[in-house]
A and B are shown apart, each in its own frame.
Chain A
């Protein structure tokens, strides 16, 4: 069974204080790893896709990296508007369908001014 574990569950940072969120996975064949951002009362918003170990993607203050066992979402000099829950998901051949994603529980990030 595919498993995705995110840590920490919650993280509180000061504005400008850089940090990293972790997503470790155990899957039978990875087709893709995805990072989403979810604001309260909203659906997840797509951030990045990573397909192979060593791959990196960047967008503004966010950078996602991938190894064979885990992914990191690095947040550089965060601002209060970066506060959200960050979800990691994997897509595998056994994902229950053409592309049923398996999500972690998320990391609830709070950036204090």
Chain B
């Protein structure tokens, strides 16, 4: 059984650019959630995808968008990057929505915006 895989592991982008982060969910999991974790902070909920539809969203602007594919993998897209977007982006998959104890987190993508 494979866990959650995220790519790339590290990324450096320039302010104003766009970025795409990728996540492969754990086998048997159909729900993917994305979190942003700034240095020294706890993760903050960005949004969740279930069966290829956005299933809930935290307090993030529309320039944060996502996709989920038929194989349940997911992408997080961030447009018009700002310096404050520098953070660890975590993907978590779960067997279904509504069960926080079913989360399996990936190791994250470290994004640095310069």
A residues adjacent to B (C-beta < 8 A): 4, 6, 31-32, 34, 41-46, 49, 87, 89, 91, 95-106
27 contacts between A and B (CB under 8 A): A4-B42, A6-B42, A32-B101, A41-B108, A43-B107, A45-B105, A46-B104, A49-B101, A87-B42, A91-B100, A95-B45, A95-B56, A96-B45, A96-B58, A97-B45, A97-B48, A97-B55, A98-B31, A98-B56, A98-B98, A99-B99, A100-B33, A100-B45, A100-B47, A101-B45, A103-B43, A105-B40
Q: How many residues of B contact A (CB 8 A)?
A: 32
**What string of 1s and 0s marks CB contacts (under 8 Å) between B75-101 and chain A?**
000000000000000101010011111
Please report the number of residue pairs spanning A and B whose Cβ atoms sit closer than 8 angstroms.
Answer: 87
B42 touches A97 (CB 8 A): no
Q: Indicate if the CB atoms of B41 and A105 lie closer than 8 Å.
A: yes
Q: Which residues of B contact A (CB under 8 A)?
A: 4, 31, 33, 35, 40-45, 47-48, 50, 55-59, 90, 92, 94, 97-101, 103-108
Nearest chain B CB to A82 CB, angstrom units: 19
Q: How far is the CA of A3 from the CA of B92 in the complex (A)?
A: 21
